[in-house]
């Protein structure tokens, strides 16, 4: 189980954690610790039923080569709400352009 304690003398933070890749237990001290959650796309476990390119982490690798299918936001890369909104808007505009070309 991971935990963080403070060294009373140095005021450093002491981390007791497990390296999930090597399965090694670590006990180290740091002057700063940033806690962040990891992000894994839904496509990491269940692939989209089209021939799409994925990176090593399961994110869609850039633009798709299939007309009418556009990746956006966290399907492409870890990002915040603002970036997801911008990506989604861009994908919607590309889809509209695709539909307009078909008329």
Helix (H) / strand (E) element for 17: namely strand 13-19
Q: Is the pLDDT confidence value at 101 over 90? A: no
Helix (H) / strand (E) element for 97: namely helix 81-101
Q: What distance lies between CA 91 and its chain's CA centroid?
A: 18
pLDDT digits (tens, 9 = 90+) for 33-45: 888 777 888 776 7
pLDDT digits (tens, 9 = 90+) for 62-85: 667 787 788 888 888 888 889 999
Q: Is the pLDDT confidence value at 59 over 80? A: yes
pTM for the whole thing? 0.55
pLDDT digits (tens, 9 = 90+) for 7-57: 999 999 999 988 888 889 999 999 998 887 778 887 767 767 788 888 888
pLDDT for the residue numbered 30: 92
């Amino acid at each position: 189980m991971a935990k963080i304690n403070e060294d009373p003398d140095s005021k450093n933070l002491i981390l007791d954690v497990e390296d999930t890749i090597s399965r090694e237990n670590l006990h180290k001290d740091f002057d700063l610790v940033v806690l962040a959650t990891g992000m894994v796309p839904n496509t990491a476990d269940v692939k989209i039923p089209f021939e799409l390119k994925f990176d090593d982490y399961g994110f869609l690798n850039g633009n798709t080569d299939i007309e009418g299918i556009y990746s956006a936001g966290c399907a492409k890369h870890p990002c915040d709400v603002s970036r997801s909104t911008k990506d989604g808007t861009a994908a919607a505009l590309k889809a509209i352009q695709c539909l307009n070309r078909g008329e």
